[in-house]
Chain A
């Protein structure tokens, strides 16, 4: 039997080998997708150590549940969903641990940004790609975990409202409200950052 060439093998081939217990095949999958999985964890947690730990935990869970992977989605999508669920669990635990602030309660209800007039100019216009990245990165940093999570799941993972509601264990109405607030807050933050310059 021909030996498997890990570096050039398709994800599906590697998954098949890993499902039979081949840890080298699994290591190749980790090497291929580790940055994406880490980036998703970091986008939600905004903390390097937590993102590393959660992304590694996701890989271990992925290994343990590999027999359940049927190939209905791509392997990358499947393992991304695992890390998202772990991040949401961690955020819920953190929320339970800390005392809710008045500001957070206000955010949940919609906050002052809901009442703001619309920002008519595009705050990111004529920005270089690197500068745009930095600005959005800083703005995302300032959102609460709940609002950032909804934004990440909708904009980056392209999940529908009902999928987000299921993942976050909340109603579709809450998802819509959080998403709206997050977008408005982000627009305001980007506009502020532009005026600072």
Chain B
């Protein structure tokens, strides 16, 4: 039967595990040097620790590499991917990317045709600004007195249209 208290036993263990602050460790070391029972207990604890340090278990997965991996892989496939998925591109965005440049080209072509038709037209017509292909953000400026048509495009079309009032007509001079 031991005469040591539980607290003394646990302090001794903490000392052997290097878990005590320096001051406490010095105290325990001094006590240990003069106490036969504490020395015996320290010897037992050290022996157990040494035995475990030499214990190199050879527990190996009792399954082949392929079989073991196959179950992991199956679960990995079911779960979320390791990295964030690439940012998805919506159909609308994709169409916009294609259609806006195409629309711009179409507007330019249309403006060219209108200009050709207007060469030689009678003077004195008012200045007009029309929104054409509003979705694509294109406008034409036509001065019939000068026989001139200017086409301008804005991008992104949605923002421009949302931010500005409808420029169907400008005040006449």
Residues on A facing B (Cβ under 8 Å): 18-21, 23, 26-27, 30-31, 34-35, 38-39, 42-43, 48, 51-52, 55-57, 59-60, 63-64, 66-67, 110, 114-120, 122-124, 129, 132-133, 136-137, 151, 154-156, 160-161, 173, 176-177, 179-180, 183-184, 186-187, 190
Given contacts A59-B72, A115-B2, contact A39 B59 (CB under 8 A): yes
Given known A52-B61, A124-B51, A132-B51, contact A67–B1 (CB-CB < 8 A): no
Contacts of A190 in B (CB 8 A): 48, 51
Sorted nearest first, the 9 A-B pairs with minimum C-beta distance are A118-B40, A39-B59, A124-B51, A60-B75, A118-B44, A155-B52, A118-B41, A38-B61, A122-B47
20 A-B residue pairs with CB within 8 Å: A18-B82, A27-B73, A30-B72, A34-B61, A52-B68, A56-B71, A60-B76, A63-B79, A63-B82, A114-B9, A118-B43, A122-B51, A132-B54, A136-B52, A156-B52, A160-B19, A176-B14, A183-B13, A183-B49, A186-B51
State the main secondary structure of chain A at its contact with B.
helix
- Closest chain-A Cβ to B52's Cβ sits at a distance in Å of 4
Q: Nearest Cβ in chain B — how far from A151, in angstroms? A: 7
Least CB separation from A109: chain B residue: B6
Q: Does B83 contact A (CB under 8 A)?
A: yes
Residues in chain B near residue A21, CB distance under 8 A: 81-83
> Is there an interface contact between A110 and B57, defined as CB atoms closer than 8 Å?
no
B61: chain A residues within 8 A (beta carbon): 34-35, 38, 52, 55
- Chain A proximity of B142: nearest CB distance (Å): 56
- Taking CB atoms, residues of chain A closer than 8 Å to B72 are 30, 56, 59-60, 63
Query: With the chains together, A160 CA to B37 CA distance in Å?
Result: 26
- A-B Cβ contacts below 8 A, count: 138
Number of B interface residues at 8 Å Cβ cutoff, please give it. Answer: 45
Residue of A nearest to B38 (CB): A118
Chain B proximity of A112: nearest CB distance (Å):
10
Q: How far is the CA of A123 from the CA of B48 in the complex (A)?
A: 9
Whether the Cβ atoms of A64 and B52 lie closer than 8 Å is: no
Would B76 and A23 count as touching, CB distance under 8 A? yes
Are B83 and A133 interface neighbours, CB within 8 A?
no
For residue A46, give the distance in angstroms from its CB to the closest CB of chain B.
Answer: 10
Residues of chain A within 8 A of B57, CB atoms compared: 39, 43, 133, 137
A176 to B9 CA separation, bound complex (whole angstroms) = 10
Of residues 56 through 86 on chain B, the ones whose CB sits less than 8 Å from some CB of chain A are: 56-63, 65, 68-69, 71-73, 75-76, 79-83
Query: Which residue of B is nearest A64, CB measured?
Result: B79
